[in-house]
Structures are given as structure tokens and as C-alpha cells.
């Protein structure tokens, strides 16, 4: 195998910045999708709306179309149908760390490493809950974390 890029070694739970170039490209939104938008005022002068649609690319032109309706089917049969389901709500904003600590303390967790194979890591722009074996604990921590974030 001939490589033109150097291999980037990594270990478990490491975060790497990849050398990718970003560029902005305009994308049009279909009128049927814009009619469904319902902006919510987050603070004075700033409104927010979510867009759930299908990105269509043709001749390097991007457009966002409304998702086709899946009503009328008795069952969801394919992975594509599951991907078309709109989420109940979206989380946004920064984590209120004091609120998070208070809520996990009420659950009996007082340390960032409650068990040997569990680690809770809170940073400015990200939160990681690493839980190896205890799925119940991971789900409890996830639910507590979601309670501390803003939703719309």
C-alpha cells in the first residue's frame, strides 16, 4: 500500500485535530421546508430554528429538501426510515457545571471517577462520560447531563 499521507497514531479516548481545509458553500432551502420552520427567540434579537431535511447535491450545487413523509407505513423497515425520524428536541448551550454537580450528588456520585471503569470529564466546549461496563450508570449520567442543558 502506497500512502501519500502520514499515519496518525492514536490511543483510546484521544481527540485529534485533523488537517482538513474548511470552506463555506451556500446551500438553498426549499420553500416547503422554510414554511415548516418555527424560530424560537433565545435572547433579545437572536432567534434559533432547527432544520431537519435531506441534503441534495447536484453539479456542486447544494440544496436542503424536506424529508419525504413516512406516514402510512405500519412499520419502519429500513435504516433509512429510522434516519428520517425527526428528534423530539435539540440541546444547545453550555453545561451549567454547578447544576450538573448538584444533580449527580443527589444521585450519590461525588467524584469524577465514581467507579474504576467510569470517568466523567467536563471541559469548556465538551463533556465526556466514559463508562465501560455499567450501562445503567451511563444512561443515568446521560439523563442527568441532558437535564442540565437547554432544549428547544
Which pLDDT tens digit goes with each residue over 89-132? 778 778 888 888 888 888 887 776 667 777 778 777 777 888 87
Q: Say if 127 falls within a structural domain.
A: yes
Domain end point (choices 87, 122, 137): 87
Strands (E) in 1-149, as ranges, are 27-29, 40-43, 46-48, 53-58, 61-66, 91-92, 118-122, 127-131
Q: For residues 104 and 124, state if they share a domain.
A: yes
- In the predicted model, is pLDDT for residue 63 greater than 90? yes
Q: Is 40:49 a contact under the CB 8 Å cutoff?
A: yes
pLDDT at 96: 81
Q: Is 120:100 a contact under the CB 8 Å cutoff?
A: no
> Which residues sit opposite 110 in a β-bridge?
none
pLDDT at 116: 73
Average pLDDT over residues 26-44: 88
Cα–Cα distance measured from residue 118 to residue 116, given in angstroms and rounded to the nearest whole number: 6
User: Which residue range(s) make up the domain with 130?
Assistant: 92-151
Average pLDDT over residues 133-143: 83
Total domains present in the chain = 2
Amino acid at each position: 500500500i502506497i500512502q501519500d499521507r502520514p499515519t496518525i497514531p492514536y490511543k483510546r479516548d484521544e481527540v485529534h485535530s485533523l488537517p482538513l481545509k474548511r470552506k463555506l458553500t451556500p446551500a438553498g432551502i426549499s420553500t416547503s421546508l422554510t414554511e415548516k420552520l418555527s424560530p424560537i427567540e433565545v435572547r433579545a434579537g437572536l432567534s434559533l430554528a432547527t432544520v431537519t431535511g435531506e441534503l441534495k447535491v447536484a453539479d456542486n450545487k447544494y440544496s436542503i429538501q424536506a424529508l419525504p413523509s413516512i406516514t402510512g407505513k405500519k412499520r419502519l423497515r429500513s435504516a433509512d426510515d429510522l434516519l428520517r425520524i425527526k428528534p423530539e428536541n435539540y440541546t444547545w448551550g453550555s453545561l451549567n457545571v454547578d447544576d450538573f454537580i448538584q444533580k449527580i450528588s443527589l444521585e450519590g456520585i461525588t467524584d469524577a471517577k465514581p467507579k474504576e471503569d467510569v470517568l466523567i470529564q467536563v471541559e469548556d466546549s465538551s463533556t465526556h462520560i466514559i463508562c465501560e461496563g455499567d450501562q445503567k450508570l451511563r444512561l443515568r449520567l446521560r439523563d442527568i447531563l441532558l437535564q442540565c442543558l437547554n432544549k428547544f
